[in-house]
Structure 1
Amino acid sequence: MKKIWVILSSLLVLACAVSAFAGDGSFKRVKSAGAMTIGLDDAFPPMGYRNDKGQLVGFDIDAAEEVGKRLGIKINWQPTAWDGVIHALNSKKFDCIWNGMTITDERKKEVAFTKPYKMDGQVAVVRFADKKHKKLADLKGAKVGVQKGSSAVEAVKKLPAAAGEVREYEDNPKALLDLESDRLDTVIIDDATGRDFIAKRPGKFRILPGNITKEPFGVAFRKEDVELREAVQKTLDKMVKDGTMAKISKKWFGEDITNPKKWK
């Protein structure tokens, strides 16, 4: 009799644990409300920013709106200060953060991420007609432009071969102007920002294959909201498989950068 009670008790504990994991109610909460609220910095082109008409646009905006459509919920956007965005999420001011957020070990201590949907990082931009520089290793001895105070300054040190000269600029547009005028061989820049410039000025620049640094982007949720995160992840997986993410990527970056096979 005692053994039976022990077995029953163990099964009950196991059942409760499984139930707690599989039914946290987070997706049901959002579904019942008919909307999912997303926190973001609305000045981060091309991921999420305001256009000339003040409308919220960008790669992340299109992707999230499509996820909402497929889940049958409305997407509400909540602009917030980036330095406090994780605290705001855990204070339940919104349901997730979807705004080109880099997945880091430090952030994983506070939030739970989806799988990476884009691999960001520092890349090398060269002139479109440049035939001398075909890969990162070709930048040996090159004249390199970077934005002062940006992570590109450190990224230069990680190039396969040492640069010949590094020039620091107040902002990326000024560096790219010197690149276009043949006063630089390359500009090291954040991948998302670089591709935004390229998409807006087709035929002027291109990005050398491979990232100098790798910074995966993911959607962040509260750790306890397992159901909601899984619902979004499954929808994103379907969007990658059916080509929707590729279509959105081509709109904002001029090519498909959502395929994990291209991140290596």
Structure 2
Amino acid sequence: MQNLKRAAVAATMTLVLMTAANADGLTGTLKKVKETGTITLGYRESSVPFSYLDGNQKPIGFSMDLCGQVVEAVRKKLGMADLKVAYNPVNSATRLLLVANGTVDIECGSTANQLARQKQVAFSVSTFVAQFKWLTRTDSGIASPDDLKGKPVVVTSGTNTSQFLNKLNQDERLGLKISQGKDHAESFLLVDAGRAAAFMEDDILLAGVKANSKDPSKFRILDKSYSADPYALMFRREDPDFKALVDETLVGLMKSGVFTQLYTRWFETPIPPRDLNLSFPMSEKLKELIKAPSDKANS
């Protein structure tokens, strides 16, 4: 009888411990963060004004600020005032892998939400809407995309822009000689050095590298634009609780007006490190997405 009592007590204690361990019912990223005490943000080094390094090599930008709000929501939900934040650099070629394999918990950059990418990662509600455009030197004599036929051009490796440009080149038989930069800074440098006639990328990213160049007047962005995919914050797939928290945070910012305030700060006022103003007003499409947030990719 005594043995039965001891067994019952042991079983009860085990149940209590198991219940305590799972009382919060955490899963996925939230469970990982709770157990490690750290949330890891992925950042870009030259995706102005979304995620880039300031004069002190600290990651800053619009997407970094949005992720900062997510961190605060995680801290509150988990009751972790001492939650640590780690920063891990990513680029166009590594970002999906580092999110998918758990190295990065949430990527705070300029990543487009695409159906193909959803097979590897998940996305928040849209945070920006871009268009593909061309950047050239003002002394290149290039006035329109037609002037680029047969010329060397550059695009950043691992981007949806790269996929688009390859298809455009093939479909329209442009004869472009396409090279790839490892990041936006390198792609821009190829144009600056005259090794590429033009750089195709999202309009806002081109505006960012142009504004932060030594002499912005040396470069121009062509008027012609092509439809691109919406940007979003990126995290691991099949993690509904974390996605719900991220989306709830972003939608709350949109409804409160804080999202618009952050947009104004990074797109329409002087920003570090050189206090340059991108003068990039919010598009009508983004205004629509603020009123009716969506995590849908272009079909």
Report the equivalent of 1:244. 261
Structure 2: how far apart are the matches of 1:76 and 1:40?
11
Partner AA of 1:104 in structure 2: Q
Deviation at 1:254, TM superposition (A): 1.1
Scaled by the length of structure 2, the TM-score of the pair is 0.55
**In structure 1, what is the Cα distance between the partners aligned to 2:247 and 2:66?**
12
* Cα-Cα RMSD: 4.7
The CA distance in 2 between the partners of 1:205 and 1:238, in whole Å, is 38
Corresponding position: 1:96 with 2:96: no
Q: For residue 107 of structure 1, what is the amino acid of its counterpart? A: R
d(CA) in 1 for partners of 2:104, 2:209: 31
Change (3 A) 1:226 1:122: same
| Residues 125, 194 of structure 1: 8 Å contact kept | yes
% identity of equivalent residues: 16
Q: Which residue of 1 aligns with 2:169?
A: 157
d(CA) in 1 for partners of 2:212, 2:137: 14
Are 1:187 and 2:198 matched, yes or no? Answer: yes
Provide the C-alpha distance between the structure 2 equivalents of 1:249 and 1:259, rounded to a whole number of angstroms.
11
Q: Is the 8 A contact 2:121 2:236 kept in 1?
A: yes
- Residue 114 and residue 168 in structure 1: after superposition, are their counterparts in 2 closer, same or farther (change >3 A)? closer
Change (3 A) 1:254 1:118: same
1:230 partner SS: helix
Q: 1:39 to 1:210 in 2, by over 3 A?
A: farther
Per the alignment, do residues 226 and 205 of structure 1 end up closer, same or farther by CA in structure 2, a change over 3 Å counting? same
- Give 2:65's match in structure 1, choosing from 52, 62, 85: 62
Q: 1:157 to 1:240 in 2, by over 3 A?
A: farther
Distance change in 2, residues 1:221/1:178 (3 Å): closer
Give the secondary-structure state (helix, strand or coil) at the position aligned to 1:104: coil
Q: Which residue of 2 aligns with 1:37?
A: 39
- Counterpart CA distance in 2 for 1:94 and 1:164 is 39
Aligned position for 1:140: 146
Q: Is there any run of 5+ residues in structure 1 with no aligned partner, and where?
A: 1-22
* One-letter amino acid of the counterpart of residue 175, structure 1: V
Shift of 1:33: 7.9
For residues 75 and 226 of structure 1, what CA distance do their matches in structure 2 show? 23
Q: Which residues of 2 match residues 16-31 of structure 1 at below 5 A? A: none
Secondary structure of the corresponding residue to residue 116 of structure 2: helix
**Does 2:135 match 1:119?**
no
Alpha-carbon distance in 2 for matches of 1:167, 1:87: 25
Partner of 1:50: 53
Other structure's SS at 1:102 match:
coil
Secondary structure at the aligned position of 1:140 is classed as helix
Pick from 209, 225, 228 the counterpart of residue 197 of structure 1.
209
CA displacement 1:129-151 (0-9 Å, x = unmatched): 99x95xxxx53345765227853
Partners of 1:87 and 1:165 in 2: CA distance:
29
Gaps of 5+ in 2: 1-24, 77-82, 182-186, 272-276, 288-297
Counterpart in 2 of 1:261? 285
Q: Answer whether contact 2:131 2:228 (CA < 8 A) is retained.
A: yes
Change (3 A) 1:156 1:166: farther
d(CA) in 2 for partners of 1:24, 1:204: 53
1:172 pairs, out of 176, 188, 191, with 188
Q: Does 1:230 align with 2:247?
A: no
Cα distance in 2 for residues equivalent to 1:217 and 1:204 = 28
